[in-house]
Amino acid sequence: MKLRDLCRRAAESAAAGGGAVLVSWHPGDTRDDLRELRRSAADTAGRSFFWSSPHTKRSLLALGVAHELPGGQAGSRWAGARDAWARLPIAADGTGVPLLIGGGSYAEGSGMPPVAFWVPEIQFEARAGEPARLTVNAVCRPGQTAADLAAALEAARARARLRTGALPPPSGGLARFVQVPGRAEWTRNVTAILAEIQRGALEKVVLARTFEVDVEGAFDIDRILRALEASQNGATVFAVGWDGLHFVGATPELLVRVEGPVLRTMALAGSAPRGADAAHDADLGRWLRDSAKERHEHALVLDFIRAALAELGADVTAGVEPELVRHPTVQHLGTSIEGLLAERSRTAVFDVIAALHPTPAMGGVPRAAATGWQRAHEGIDRGWYAAPLGWIDPSGDAEIAVGIRSALIRGGRAVVYAGCGIVAGSDPAAEFAETRHKADHMLAALLP
Domain boundaries, the chain: 3-159, 174-446
pLDDT of 252 above 80: yes
Residue 121 is a catalytic residue: no
> What is the predicted pLDDT for the residue at 419?
97
pLDDT of 74 above 60: yes
The per-residue pLDDT for range 312-343, each reduced to its tens digit, is 999 999 998 999 999 888 899 999 999 999 88
Distance CA 39, CA 410 (A): 17
The per-residue pLDDT for range 16-46, each reduced to its tens digit, is 988 999 999 999 888 877 877 787 776 566 8
| Cis before 328 (ω within 30) | no
**Alpha helices (runs of H) in 243-366, residue ranges in sequence order:** 278-290, 292-311, 348-356
Q: What are phi and psi of 336, to 5 degrees?
A: -75, 140
User: From the candidates 125, 203, 253, 297, which is the catalytic residue?
Assistant: 253
> What is the predicted pLDDT for the residue at 169?
66
pLDDT of 47 above 60: yes
The per-residue pLDDT for range 346-369, each reduced to its tens digit, is 999 999 999 999 999 999 999 999
Burial class (CB in 10 A: 0-12, 13-18, 19+), 94: exposed
Q: Which stretch of DSSP H or E encloses residue 401? A: strand 398-402
Supply the Cα-derived Rg of the chain in whole angstroms: 22
- Say whether pTM exceeds 0.85: yes
> What is the predicted pLDDT for the residue at 105?
95
> What would the mean pLDDT of 9-19 be, rounded to a whole number?
92
> What is the predicted pLDDT for the residue at 279?
95
> What is the predicted pLDDT for the residue at 166?
56
**Res. 79 pLDDT band, cuts 50 70 90:** very high
The per-residue pLDDT for range 227-247, each reduced to its tens digit, is 999 987 789 999 999 888 999
The per-residue pLDDT for range 286-315, each reduced to its tens digit, is 999 999 999 999 999 999 999 999 999 999
Is the separation of the CB atoms in 95 and 136 below 8 Å? no
**Res. 142 pLDDT band, cuts 50 70 90:** very high
- What is the dotted CATH code of the domain comprising 174-446? 3.60.120.10
**Alpha helices (runs of H) in 112-200, residue ranges in sequence order:** 146-159, 183-198
Share of the chain above pLDDT 90, in %: 80
Is the separation of the CB atoms in 388 and 395 below 8 Å? no
pLDDT of 163 above 70: no
User: From the candidates 121, 125, 203, 204, which is the catalytic residue?
Assistant: 204
pLDDT of 56 above 60: yes
Residue 108 is a catalytic residue: no
**Res. 447 pLDDT band, cuts 50 70 90:** very high
Distance CA 2, CA 401 (A): 36
> What is the predicted pLDDT for the residue at 173?
85
pLDDT of 401 above 70: yes
Which letter does DSSP use for residue 260 in this model? Answer: T
